Amino acid sequence: MAHINDNYQKLPGNYLFSEIAKRVSKFQSENPNAKIIRLGIGDVTQPLPKVCIDAMKSAVDEMGDQKTFRGYGPEQGYEFLREKIAEYNYKCRGLNVDAEEIFISDGSKCDCGNIQEIFSLDSKIAIADPVYPVYLDSNVMAGRTGDLKSDGHFEDVVYLPCTAENNFSPKVPDEHVDLIYLCSPNNPTGTTLSKEALRRWIDYAKKNDTVIFYDAAYAAYITENNMPRSIYEIDGARDCAIEFRSFSKTAGFTGTRCGYVVIPKNLTGVNKNGERVPLKNLWLRRQTTKFNGTAYIVQRGAEAIYSDEGQAQIKNLVGYYMENAKIIREGLEKVGLTAYGGINAPYIWLKTPNDLSSWEFFDLLLNKANVVGTPGAGFGPCGENYFRLTSFGDRDNTIEAMKRLDQSLGLKAEG
């Protein structure tokens, strides 16, 4: 008998996005003429930067010529890309990260989901609430979380509430945990952790021998100069933090797929004999066994953003979405809603009016304005009464969505 991994059945299921799809399709079939605008899902809409297209085309030509053809690539990623990342994202900013500490992947979702595998099953984890669902679900699948309780939390997880009262910046726990997931700029709240906040996390991690998983998938969206783009901007982070980055939102690679992880060479965990083992070696072992590497063509495309022209093109791309973010924030404020985020992040997190539940607000927005967003409750219990809009739509749709909100919602709501 093939017994399944029962942990999978502890997952609440694909509830959030399948429920959204179900409600949208019901509404569309009952209102065939409605032109629905989707500001819900976190996918991008604008094409790849030209530098990436040109680089990938020429990589295709290399693959078509026996003299320059490439087969299996290095599992850690090509040195040409790792060197450029180290230079542009770290060394240029005075940060000490070497190419040999960088692992190229096909995107951050896999990295954030798989990293827990190199840690023991009895590791205690802490995650923010609300949060990007991959951190929690991958630990549920692994069997590290215990069962789901009636309050929507898993019994063995330490949750870090992110609410308006703490400016969506989670407080360090009072108890010991082994692994902590932090996401900044944050999906879904659009909040960025300050240097002072990160300082507190690193102090906690060093005191408790904790490893921080720092998801900086949206680092390119930080506009305020005093906000840290990398956790390594804070002294001591190399002793306790792994950083995740992605080309998805930086360069429109959601369909092309590329990301990377930084694991400092001095960062260690403890084995059963109490000896310190470099985490980097375990991750390399894991990747060489289970990961096929990122396509050469894609890595050439990613490399292309690391040039003057490439940097200018991604700045334009990010600027386009951030202008949408501004339009959304201003649109929400105009109708009297309280909105957070959208300044150093492509997400806008709004408080539902009159204490409507996240799903009630979803239905209201769909029915009255034909606009789709994401109910905050889908990201964790503390997301209840909140709602996420993204700035990844195209400009005309974003403007139109705010116009409809103004005309049809006319809330003048209390936050």
Binding residues among 151-190 for ligand PLP as defined by CB under 6 A: 183, 187
By beta-carbon proximity to ligand PLP, the closer residue of 228 and 259 is 259
Cα-based distances in Å from 93 to 85, 185, 190: 12, 18, 24
Binding residues among 73-112 for ligand PLP as defined by CB under 6 A: 107-109, 112
By beta-carbon proximity to ligand PLP, the closer residue of 238 and 245 is 245
Tell me if 55 contacts ligand PLP by CB under 6 A: no
In the complex, the smallest distance separating the C-beta of residue 174 from ligand PLP, rounded to whole angstroms, is 26
By beta-carbon proximity to ligand PLP, the closer residue of 218 and 409 is 218
The type of residue at 338 is T
In the complex, the smallest distance separating the C-beta of residue 140 from ligand PLP, rounded to whole angstroms, is 17
Choice from 248, 256, 313, 370 touching ligand PLP (CB under 6 A): 248
Dihedrals phi, psi of 404, to nearest 5 degrees:
-65, -40
Q: Helix (H, G, I), strand (E, B), or coil: what is residue 92?
A: helix
Residues 320-359, mask of contacts with ligand PLP (x by CB under 6 A): ----------------------------------------
In the complex, the smallest distance separating the C-beta of residue 285 from ligand PLP, rounded to whole angstroms, is 22
**Cβ atoms of residues 242 and 214 within 8 Å:** yes
Rounded-to-integer distance, Cα 44 and Cα 58, Å: 25
Tell me if 42 contacts ligand PLP by CB under 6 A: yes
Tell me if 132 contacts ligand PLP by CB under 6 A: yes
Rounded-to-integer distance, Cα 395 and Cα 399, Å: 6
Supply 3's token pair: 């017994």
In the complex, the smallest distance separating the C-beta of residue 330 from ligand PLP, rounded to whole angstroms, is 24
Length of the chain: 415
Cross-sheet strand order for the sheet of 386-390: 339-341, 347-351, 386-390, 374-375
Cα-based distances in Å from 285 to 76, 82, 238, 276, 364: 10, 18, 21, 16, 50
In the complex, the smallest distance separating the C-beta of residue 42 from ligand PLP, rounded to whole angstroms, is 4
Total residues in contact with ligand PLP, by rule CB under 6 A: 14
Residues 355-394, mask of contacts with ligand PLP (x by CB under 6 A): ----------------------------------------
In the complex, the smallest distance separating the C-beta of residue 214 from ligand PLP, rounded to whole angstroms, is 11
Residues 203-232, mask of contacts with ligand PLP (x by CB under 6 A): ------------x-x---------------
Choice from 130, 228, 252, 259 touching ligand PLP (CB under 6 A): 259
The type of residue at 215 is D
Quote the radius of gyration of the chain (alpha carbons, Å).
22
By beta-carbon proximity to ligand PLP, the closer residue of 257 and 404 is 257
Rounded-to-integer distance, Cα 45 and Cα 388, Å: 17
Angle ∠(379,245,219) on CA atoms, nearest 5: 75
Cα-based distances in Å from 292 to 73, 218, 244, 289: 8, 25, 18, 8
Choice from 189, 246, 294, 324 touching ligand PLP (CB under 6 A): 246
By beta-carbon proximity to ligand PLP, the closer residue of 59 and 183 is 183
Dihedrals phi, psi of 74, to nearest 5 degrees:
-65, 135
Question: What b/e sequence results for 168-192 when a residue is b if at least 16 CB atoms lie within 10 Å of its CB, and e otherwise?
Answer: bbbebbeeebbbbbbbbbbbbbbbb
Residue numbers at the binding site for ligand PLP (CB under 6 A): 42, 107-109, 112, 132, 183, 187, 215, 217, 246, 248, 254, 259
